[in-house]
Amino acid sequence: MKDKDIAALINAETKRQAEGLEMIPSENHTSADVLKALGSRLTDKYSEGYPGMRYYGGCENVDAVENLARDRAKKLFGVSHANVQPYSGSPANQAVYFALVDPGDTVMGMHLYFGGHMTHGLKVNFSGTIYRSVQYHTGKDGYLDYTEMAKMVKAEKPKLIFVGATAYPRIFDWARLREIADLSKAWLIADISHIAGLVVAGAHPSPVGHAHVITTTTHKTLRGPRGAMILCDGNASTPLKAVERKPENLPTLIDRAIIPGLQGGPHNHQTAAIAVALREASQPGFKRYGQQIVKNAKKLAEELLKRDYKLVTGGTDNHLLLIDLSNKKVIGADAEKALGRAGVTVNKNTVPFDPRPPFSPSGIRMGTPALTTRGMKEKEMVQIADWIDQAVKNHQNAKILRQLSNEVKEFCRQFPLPSDK
């Protein structure tokens, strides 16, 4: 690369990832093929519209790329329609609101401080500004309170309910959630951004057949490039036609919301990289990968519990752990900093009913998708739990943190990033 400044920064970031433990649960390490597709000439091409219906010439190759991505997504998740054009998870969610509700309509989602995403109705997000947003919570035990949620639906009569999370360590009961949505004839939207890879691997129940629409990012457990997809069932899409808001019209409603509703030209290099990741996720090895993510998270939870860590809900069913540090005499931000210095990247996070302010919460969130990609298993989780404990206990001791970071660096040599294998 001729740009030495950017080349140096890319190298520095690659080194940081290779020499440390990436434990932010929404992150992963993509394959060399995904990176190749992302860095291809496809990024040069404009192709507003959909395959066979473009506003630009020269689209024969990008049409084929998008068709492949759509077909692979449909097959992998078992749905009849897939839109692979959303630029990322937030615009995908925005498209769903745009497709299915009007400004001022009541919508529901899990509150950010209890694990939901900003786009699920946070007051300062578009979703809590344009719509009348009502937010549900977890109970004191950290589990989603389905009974309370049903009462709220009966009282507030939302037209659309988002279910999905950024910091929830348990599985979602999709059948029960659909029953709750049906109480007010609301659209049920499953945002499986965090768990898409687990759903593919059969390590988390699929919302297909329960949710009306499924949104997902492609860059988390699914291990693709940054991007997103919207999945649904219904009649073949006719995005040039205005249609009624009925379940059978979902493909058309979604496609029209993406373009002309919200976006212009699709990012074709990203679509190709999504197609590559979907092919990878359809290989038998990916099932083992998804199952191992959960096994690793459970082992890490077990080891941290032994070391007297307070885990929200007492453990995990998925890829992440939410740790309440209130018994450890350290706040989330300081633990995040200390772990970072020891070579372990996590993020500070609110815990349910957190007494501390959201910008300086009591907890940290960590997950196993990226570690599992590098080939780490239960045995390594025991060692990692020990490093986490040492770093938290010695969060003010620079010498010990430096020593830990050297140990982590040495350990990481045995587990190269996928692109370096």
List residues near ligand PLP by CB under 6 A.
26, 88-90, 93, 117, 119, 164-166, 191, 193-194, 217
Q: Would you say 109 or 343 has its CB closer to ligand PLP?
A: 109
Q: Rounded CA gap, 143 and 312, in Å? A: 9
Which residue lies nearest ligand PLP, judged by its C-beta? 89
Catalytic one among 48, 386, 389, 407?
48
220 is catalytic: yes
> Is 13 part of the annotated catalytic residue set?
no
Task: Verify whether residue 56 is a known catalytic residue.
Answer: no
Q: Is 280 a catalytic residue?
A: no
DSSP 61-86: HHHHHHHHHHHHHHHHHT-SEEE---
Which of 120/178 has CB closer to ligand PLP? 120
Q: What are phi and psi of 115, to 5 degrees?
A: 115, -10
CA 228 to chain centre: 10
* Of the candidates 235, 259, 276, 270, the residue with the CA atom closest to the CA atom of residue 50: 259
Residue closer to ligand PLP (CB basis): 21 or 195: 195
CB 278 within 8 A of CB 69: yes
165/200 with CB nearer ligand PLP = 165
Query: Shortest Cβ distance from residue 333 to ligand PLP (Å)?
Result: 19
Least distance (Å) from ligand PLP to the CB of residue 197? 13
Greatest distance between any 2 Cα atoms in the chain: 66
191 in active site: yes
Contact between 129 and 107 under an 8 Å Cβ cutoff? The reply is no
For ligand PLP, the closer CB: 166 or 345: 166
Written as six digits, the tokens of 227 are 């991007």
Active site residue 368: no
Catalytic pick among 226, 287, 307, 393: 226
* Nearest distance, CB of residue 92 and ligand PLP, angstroms: 7
Closest by CA position to 165, among listed 136, 134, 128, 192? 192
**Contact by Cβ (8 Å): 131, 106:** yes
Least CB distance from residue 57 to ligand PLP, whole Å?
Answer: 31
User: Given 33, 36, 45, 46, which residue is catalytic?
Assistant: 46
Selection from 222, 217, 224, 200 nearest residue 273 by Cα: 224
Pick between residue 164 and residue 290 the one whose CB is nearest to ligand PLP.
Answer: 164
**Contact yes or no for 8/400 (Cβ under 8 A):** no
47: DSSP letter: -
Task: Specify the DSSP element, H or E, that contains 277.
Answer: helix 268-281
How far apart are CB 137 and ligand PLP at their closest, in Å?
Answer: 16
CA distances for 166 relative to 9, 129, 411, 418, angstroms: 28, 21, 29, 25
Active-site residue identified among 166, 215, 217, 372: 217
Question: Measured from the CB of residue 237, what is the shortest distance to ligand PLP in angstroms?
Answer: 23
Which residues are identified as catalytic? Answer: 46, 48, 191, 217, 220, 226
